[in-house]
Amino acid sequence: MIINLNRLNESLDRLYESKPSLTEAFDESFPKWLKDRLLVINKYHTGDYAARRNIPWNERPDYINARDESRYNSSSRSLWEKALAAGIDFSKTKVVEGPVPEKRTDERLKNENFIPIWLFPNGQVYIEGLNGSEIYQTTGKAFKYMPMKDKIENAEGFAYIDKTNIDPEAITGKRKARASLRADIMNNVPEYARKGTPDFKKFGRDFWGTEYDKSGYPILNPERYQKEIEKLAGKKIYQVLEEFHNKIIDAQRKVAEVYSQEDPFSSETDIDKISSLINSIRWAASRYNDYMRKVDRIINSSWDEDYKARELGELVRRIKNDDYMQSIENIGSQIFLSEIDWD
């Protein structure tokens, strides 16, 4: 089995595009036009090539190079990132929609606690104080240079957020927790770190205190036994061992990949589930190494070949019924989308 991160990315794109996810991800007070624009911006900056290609040119954001912003990372200037950095939790923040102001003296524009949100006919959205570096395609100038008179005359939608209800540390705190969790995934769960590489020092001995195998893999790779296993018990026995090995690696990488997305909508329940999954991966890896040591003993024993084949078959039966392997799949199916292929 080859690790299918492309399918994972496609599934994540579908997560953000699907109607049920829109309802869950954003507070019900968000106008559809605001949700739609935020999702387009996020998809443009975080989606793969196929996802970006499907966004029409006239909907793609462009930015000026402001002095206080990174010219090399346009996503940091995006409406999505700027809103999160300001502490706007899309799942909890209340947005108040109303008619477009007719005068600059409108109370909603004068109130210093209100953050005005403008929708323009081409679908672009300007949240004042956030995505000022985004270029308004109609004029070719950045939003922050647009006079109030032009905003009032050209806008076709308006809303505002009361910033007194925003916790500036809300998203920052979630991201710190996410970064800590991702570090736990990558640093404490065995993976393909080879001897002599910088990552190798992150991993000590295996669960049983045994040194790594000669190939340098913390998780023993079944390929070293492929010829002997297939000769004694056939390809199906070897395929089960290989599948078990790959699922452990795949689960770890999927966990790290999804939680590196810095999704601001994850709940405490999700965090609890991912912690359980990490523990299951850790135990499954240790259990797998134990199985592979048994494979080594069987192959190198003085038993006759028929007995070796029976012992390998019994070992595979135990692997198929292994609690930790089943736990990886069960918990994983609750966290990831059903479209992701665990097989």
Sort 343 into a burial class: Cβ within 10 Å, 0-12 / 13-18 / 19+. Answer: exposed
Residue 313's H or E segment, with its range, is helix 305-320
CB atoms within 10 A of CB 334: 12
Q: How confident is the model at residue 38, as a pLDDT?
A: 94
Residue 67's closest CA among 136, 125, 142, 171? Answer: 142
The phi, psi pair for 200, rounded to 5°, reads -65, -35
Average pLDDT of the chain is 75
- The string of pLDDT tens digits covering residues 78-108 is 999 899 889 898 888 999 999 999 999 999 9
The phi, psi pair for 62, rounded to 5°, reads -135, 155
- Distance, CA of 228 to CA of 232 (rounded, Å): 6
- The string of pLDDT tens digits covering residues 211-261 is 444 444 456 667 767 777 777 776 777 887 888 888 877 777 777 666 655
8 A C-beta contact, residue 321 and residue 342: no
Q: Which of 24-28, 52-56, 184-188, 236-240 has the lowest mean pLDDT?
A: 184-188
Residue 288's closest CA among 331, 334, 320, 253? Answer: 320
- Per-residue confidence band for 165, with pLDDT thresholds at 50, 70 and 90: confident
- Per-residue pLDDT for 179 more than 70? no
| Of 162 and 259, the one with more pLDDT | 162
8 A C-beta contact, residue 128 and residue 115: yes
DSSP state of 165: G
- The string of pLDDT tens digits covering residues 29-47 is 999 999 999 999 988 887 7
8 A C-beta contact, residue 61 and residue 133: no
- Per-residue confidence band for 207, with pLDDT thresholds at 50, 70 and 90: very low
- Distance, CA of 236 to CA of 245 (rounded, Å): 14
How is residue 178 written in tokens? 């996410």
Dump the DSSP string for 73-89: -GGGGSHHHHHHHTT--
| Count of residues making up the chain | 343
* pTM tops 0.85: no
**Looking at residues 321-342, what average pLDDT do you find?**
65
The phi, psi pair for 201, rounded to 5°, reads -65, -15
Q: Which of 6-20, 65-79, 256-270 has the lowest mean pLDDT?
A: 6-20
Q: How confident is the model at residue 233, as a pLDDT?
A: 73
- The string of pLDDT tens digits covering residues 118-152 is 999 999 999 999 999 999 999 999 999 999 999 99
> Residue 143 — left, alpha, or beta (φ > 0 → left; ψ -120 to 50 → alpha)?
alpha
